[in-house]
Amino acid sequence: MNAGFVVVLAVLVFVVITVWKGVRIVPQGEEWIVERLGKYHGTLSPGLNIVIPYLDDIAYKLITKDIILDVQEQEVITKDNAVILTNAISFIKVTDPVKAVYGVTDFSEAIRNMIMTTLRSIVGEMDLNEALSSRDKIKLRLRESIADEAIDWGLTVKSVEIQDIKPSESMQRAMEMQASADRERNAVVTRAEGQKQAMILEAEARLESAKRDATAQVTLAEASAESIRRITASLGTEPAPMMYLLGEKYIAAMRKLGESANAKVVVLPADLQDALKGLFAKARG
């Protein structure tokens, strides 16, 4: 009785385990790889699936939803020997589970390393300024470069995004020093240009002033000549009118000199009276 019960119990346990191992429920968004006696046998889709217990084995469970791969930050040397830091993120999807598990040891690590290697190659063909300003171009080339290999591994690269691309700390310091030097040089050039323009304007002002002074002197000389010509024409050959005019000018000049606040001594010629008498005598005659 006890032995029979044990046998029945053992059979029931065996049946339960067999059923449990033979029935597989695959969640949505996953596909399972079945191996029979160590060899690929089939792929289980989402839902209820039946396998042969003890012969079939669930070797791999793959996620068929989009997989996010974070590519760690790395140093990249540009064409002009500048060091920049860049990292990326990739979105991939398993489209062929068989190739994904049997075509490469670890498809996630393979794609990650391929992105890092390809990214170094692409950025290495650019100079610093181009690399920093060509994020979309780098992203497009990166996706195109790894797409074929990804297909061989049963993967589809849906997108590759450059998260960050920036100069290294040493490059940032060098760029700041260069920018400071450029600003100082531009300031020096600006000051020099300002001084140059000021000197040019000053020279032009002096030249214009000299031209105007010369024109004024010529005009004054012409006016004086015209005045003398007219006086000569009006006086004729008689000396008396001329002497009268000179005496009048002389007296006016002496009066102005005497009225000056700074004048202390007025010197008159000794023959002033005789000169005036002669002048007026001639004027009356």
Summarize pLDDT for 122-155 with one digit per residue, the tens.
Answer: 988 888 888 888 888 888 888 888 888 888 899 9
10, 42, 63 - which closes a domain? 63
Number of structural domains in the chain: 4
User: Do 13 and 23 sit in the same domain of this protein?
Assistant: yes
Is the pLDDT reported for residue 269 higher than 70? no
Same domain, 75 and 161: yes
Q: Decide: 253 and 247 in contact? Cβ < 8 Å.
A: no
Q: Does 232 fall in a domain?
A: yes
Report pLDDT for 91: 92
Which are the contacts of 38, defined by CB distance < 8 A and separation ≥ 6?
A: none
| Domain-embedded: residue 282 | yes
Residue 176 counted as domain residue: no
Task: Give the long-range contacts of residues 146-149, CB within 8 A, separation 24 or more.
Answer: 146/111, 146/114, 146/115, 146/118, 149/114
CB 60 within 8 A of CB 101: yes
Residue 268 pLDDT greater than 50, yes or no: yes
Do 227 and 138 have their domain in common? Answer: no
Q: Do 185 and 122 belong to one domain?
A: no
> Is it the case that residue 5 has pLDDT exceeding 80?
no
Are 122 and 145 in contact by the 8 Å Cβ rule? The answer is: yes
User: Does any domain span residue 202?
Assistant: yes
Statement to judge: residues 119 and 150 lie in one domain: yes
* 229 within domain boundaries: yes
Q: What is the pLDDT of residues 31-89, one digit of tens each?
A: 999 999 889 999 999 999 988 888 888 999 999 899 999 988 888 888 888 888 889 99
Whether residues 53 and 75 share a domain: the answer is no
Residues 127/78, Cβ–Cβ less than 8 Å: yes
Q: Count of residues for the chain?
A: 285
Where is the domain boundary, 144, 167, 190? 167
Q: Which of 236, 256, 271 is the endpoint of a domain?
A: 236
Q: Is residue 85 part of a domain?
A: yes
Do 279 and 244 lie in one domain? The reply is yes
Mean per-residue pLDDT, 111-130 = 89
Q: Is the pLDDT of residue 210 over 90?
A: no
Map tokens 């100082």 to a residue: 184
Mean pLDDT of the 182-198 span: 81
Q: What is the pLDDT of residue 46?
A: 92
How much is the pLDDT for 155?
92
Residue 22 in this model has a pLDDT that exceeds 70? yes
154 lies in the same domain as 191: no
Provide, rounded to the nearest whole percent, the portion of the chain with pLDDT above 90: 19
Q: Is residue 175 part of a domain?
A: no
Chain mean pLDDT for the chain: 80
Eight-class DSSP state of 154:
T
Is the predicted pLDDT of residue 11 greater than 60, yes or no?
yes
162: domain CATH number is: 3.30.479.30
Q: Are residues 15 and 93 in the same domain?
A: no
Separation of CA 2 from chain center:
90
Most confident region among 203-207, 220-224, 227-231, 280-284 by mean pLDDT? 203-207
Is residue 172 situated within a structural domain? no
Question: Do 186 and 129 belong to one domain?
Answer: no
Which residue range forms the structural domain that includes residue 242?
A: 237-285
Report pLDDT for 283: 46
Same domain, 47 and 135: no
| 95, pLDDT greater than 50 | yes
| Stretch 101-111: mean pLDDT | 89
191 and 102 co-located in one domain: no
Choose the most confident range, by mean pLDDT, from 212-221, 229-238, 264-273: 212-221
